Amino acid sequence: MKRSRPLKRKTKRPEPKRSEPEAVDPRSIDDDAVVQGILTAISQKRLKPGAKLGEDKLAAAFGTTRIHIRQALSHLASRKVVMQIPNRGAFVYRPTWEEAQDIFAARRIIETATVAAAIDRLDKSGKAELKAHMELEARHDRNDRWASLSLTAEFHILVAKLAGNQVLLDMSRELMLRTSLAIATFEQPGEPDCSPDAHPDIGALILARDKAGAIHAMRHHIEEMEQRIRPREGEDEVDELTAIFQEIGARARAGG
């Protein structure tokens, strides 16, 4: 329903340079439904690194315009979650092995800092929030893989939130996301996700205000995650090719 506009006073307001229809205010782009939808699918590993993000399909799926989709994708590209290749389109970002290692190294630094700051600032409401989250993790069905992945990521984001520093919180959110991409790219098949004991241990140490213990447990937890990934590209590709052609060659020889 359109409402008639009230008459405006002629004050000089800075007008946006380009008025793009259906474009999202850049200040609220992180809350945008398309951005959130893609981020959720990536953090739950439903969208894999390298997956094509077709503008038309996304526009149809989200019931929006291609302009809106393009804006969301270029925002995600600026956050290294999406890569845009000229003439080919947008894809879910595929980190290199070096980047994957850097992501975990950054997490070790940032999350040992956030866990310490969370303990310094821990108050009644923070304690309640942490306890509520720990209960949620304890109660939930581990077979529900998608819910499980979101919930375990939320634990790390909650610790950053309790640290009370918006910049650290933003960085943690970004690192969690990039971790999902690193793990999805380099994890060994069949490896378990976040070890089930890690969060209750870290949570209990935060509640007990055991700073040294919590820092140690957090670092150990991140190191354990990092051990799940192995370099794959390059050597493995060659190995795969070797295996394929050895097999073909063997068959050719056997067949005469």
Note the residues at the interface with Zn ion (CB under 5 A): 194
Residue number, 182 or 194, with CB nearest to Zn ion: 194
What is the closest distance, in whole angstroms, from the C-beta atom of residue 138 to Zn ion in the complex?
A: 14
- Separation between Cα atoms, residue 232 and residue 236, nearest integer Å: 5
Query: Degrees (nearest 5) of the Cα angle 86, 83, 170?
Result: 145
Closest CA to 95 of 111, 77, 80: 80
Residue number, 68 or 133, with CB nearest to Zn ion: 133
Using CB positions, name the residue nearest to Zn ion. Answer: 194
- Separation between Cα atoms, residue 42 and residue 93, nearest integer Å: 10
What is the closest distance, in whole angstroms, from the C-beta atom of residue 46 to Zn ion in the complex?
A: 19
- Separation between Cα atoms, residue 8 and residue 139, nearest integer Å: 55
Do 193 and 142 meet the contact criterion of CB atoms below 8 Å apart? no
Residues 6+ apart with CB under 8 A from 220: 198
Residues 6+ apart with CB under 8 A from 185: 49, 94, 95, 100, 229, 232
Residue number, 110 or 194, with CB nearest to Zn ion: 194
Residue number, 70 or 221, with CB nearest to Zn ion: 221
What is the closest distance, in whole angstroms, from the C-beta atom of residue 80 to Zn ion in the complex?
A: 21
What is the closest distance, in whole angstroms, from the C-beta atom of residue 24 to Zn ion in the complex?
A: 31
- Separation between Cα atoms, residue 76 and residue 39, nearest integer Å: 9
Residue number, 92 or 194, with CB nearest to Zn ion: 194
Residue number, 41 or 151, with CB nearest to Zn ion: 151
What is the closest distance, in whole angstroms, from the C-beta atom of residue 154 to Zn ion in the complex?
A: 10
- Separation between Cα atoms, residue 71 and residue 77, nearest integer Å: 10
What is the closest distance, in whole angstroms, from the C-beta atom of residue 146 to Zn ion in the complex?
A: 16
3-state secondary structure 220-233: HHHHHHHCCECCCC
What are the tokens at 47?
A: 């969208």
